[in-house]
Amino acid sequence: METNEEALSEIAILQDKLRVLLRSRYGSPPYTVEMGLGFPDSMLATGPAEDKILFELGPIELVPYSVYFFLEIIKNWKGGSFHRNAGHVLQAMVSGNRQQGMAFQEYHPDFPHLKYTMGYAGRPGGPAFYISTQNNKWNHGPGSQGSKTEADGCFGVIGDATSKKVVDRMTTQPGGGKGSGFIEDSKDFIRILYLKLL
């Protein structure tokens, strides 16, 4: 995360402008997203071939850039898949759109990486993202992953029980390589069929 005072001042100006833009473009928050999922043949014994999860994007008072960035992912959506089951996260790659990564890390301590939250993979992050399958405040919050100050942006939370059950099913995704959890064969990827702002 940024520590330079001048940069922090410019980020605060941008965040204020994004709050106005988000309300103008999308109406008043909260913003709810539906994600359609296509499960691989290797997982059909545990449920249907297609399912969905609902999640609410974070509070724009705390993380407006992170919310805006995900809404841009939706707007430019071409495809993607969950291709990593690392034990603490389910990570998705975004394919086919030309969206670049985030310009800076936006993290707020009042919206941490708890179980069933969603965050941006990489530093500064995105467009790849993940679902936390455990409390990840220490794995992905400030001072994590060998950094003294950096933290992944947290942008959403899965709140309803039905969607949480789908995420729990996703954690049984087979094919993860030792250590990193990257799925070795694409036939075991969980496809993201669509992203839709409700």
Query: What is the per-residue pLDDT across 65-93, written as a single tens digit (0 to 9) for each?
Result: 999 999 999 999 999 999 999 989 999 99
Mean pLDDT of 112-135: 94
pLDDT at 39 over 90: yes
pLDDT at 143 over 60: no
Mean pLDDT taken over the chain: 92
What confidence score (pLDDT) does residue 95 get?
93
Who contacts 134 (Cβ-Cβ below 8 Å, separation ≥6)?
Answer: 87, 88, 115
pLDDT at 146 over 70: no
Query: Which position has the token pair 């402008």?
Result: 17
- In the structure encoding, which two tokens stand for residue 84, read together? 């990593």
- In the structure encoding, which two tokens stand for residue 90, read together? 């389910």
- pTM for this model (two decimals): 0.93
Q: What is the pLDDT of residues 187-198, one digit of tens each?
A: 999 999 999 999
Higher pLDDT, 123 or 46: 46
> Strand pairing partners for 194?
36
pLDDT at 60 over 90: yes
**DSSP E strand stretches across the chain:** 32-38, 50-57, 80-85, 89-94, 117-120, 129-132, 154-157, 190-197
What confidence score (pLDDT) does residue 98 get?
80
pLDDT at 176 over 90: no
pLDDT at 133 over 60: yes
Mean pLDDT of 94-123: 92
